[in-house]
Chains A and B, each alone.
Chain A
Amino acid sequence: MSLARIVDWLDERLGIRRDIERALRRTVPAHALGAPYCLGGIAFLAFVVEVLTGIALARYYQPNAAMAYESVRLISYQVPLGSLVRGLHYWAGNVMIAAVLLHMLRVYLAGAYRRPRELNWVVGVLLLLATLTFGFSGYALRWDAATYGATSIVVLAPASLPLGGEWLMRVFLGDVVITGETLTRLYFLHVFLLPAVATLLMLLHFLIVRRQGITGGM
């Protein structure tokens, strides 16, 4: 069956032809093909790599204090292609965070957060927070001596906040010291809550860009 016939079949039922044609015929400002404007897209592509490699890693990772480290070791040294998949997850994560930070710097320098783009700036800051929490919660899952020390501080310092700091830590991380429960909660954040929240925010972020168009050059 040719592609045209498939499209015909779908168009007859869903009326998609006009939408596809309109989407393809859209124009973008020429400067939007330049390097500074690729950063958001790079962050998104890295996120897609994170989702795919993350699904593969989740088949082996065990989110409890007794088995976490051992399962990461297994992934790194025993599972076929485990080291490559874990390496991709690690590097794409770092690339994603770097791209998000540079994207934000670009938007700030261009003043692209200004009226009428206030809303998308706010969504972007929330995405930055989601990305950093993604990074940190994943980092903690490694459960080696270095990540354990840093995780302790991230858990303990906010618990010092008056008016609910300790409560918040108990809700999100199970305790105000690191226990096996903390690890399970961080895993929940990393693979359930954050992917859902970040995906919704990204969708909103892209829809707003589509609606408002790309800003003028810097």
Chain B
Amino acid sequence: MREVPFFPHQVVRELALSSLLLGLLLILASLVPAPLGAEAQPGEVSVVSPPWYLAPLFGFLALWHGVAGGNLSLGVAIPLLVVLLMLLLPFIDRGEETPRGRMLRRATAAGFVLLMVLLAWFAYSTGLAGYAGLLP
């Protein structure tokens, strides 16, 4: 493995990348302001629009509980189990590193990302109807 010095090689690289990122953030923030809709009316839900990073979770809940009529507690417990599985991953995958293992990781990663995208898409396309059973 070829090694390069932390200073100045990596430091210069990090400073350049940091400046680039800060510049991009400034441009983005000036061109596209943070959204702000109409004020919330407590007790009244007129629209459900989750942030993108929670959309797969919302999609799953809407599909599981809203469409399929599955048990709500189970619908909450399943994502929690996935998180638990993520935490335990290094203690589950502990054999020798093999080409087959690498392929398996690529396949599961691709499948997981695809599933998340589909669930997110469902979350945004289902409208209020998909969340009917979840709201007060």
Contact = CB atoms under 8 A, between A and B. Distances in A.
Interface of A: 23-33, 38, 41-42, 45-46, 49, 65, 69-70, 72-73, 76, 83-84, 86-92, 94-95, 97, 101, 105, 108-109, 111, 113-115, 117-118, 121-122, 125, 129, 132, 135-136, 139, 142-150, 152-154, 156-158, 160-162, 165, 177-180, 216-217
Contacts of B117: none
Given A150-B50, A153-B131, A86 B37 contact: no
Given A41-B14, A87-B33, A136 B54 contact: yes
Contacts of A49: 22, 25
B14 A27 contact: no
A95 B25 contact: yes
Interface size class of B (residues with CB under 8 A): 35 or more
A88 B90 contact: no
A109 B135 contact: no
A32 B90 CA distance: 22
Q: Is chain A's binding surface mostly helix, strand, loop or mixed?
A: helix
A40 to B, nearest CB: 12
Nearest to A120: B90
Contact of A157 (B9, B76, B83, B97): B76
A143 B42 CA distance: 10
B119 to A, nearest CB: 14
B13 to A, nearest CB: 5
Given A26-B6, A27-B6, A87-B30, A114 B47 contact: no
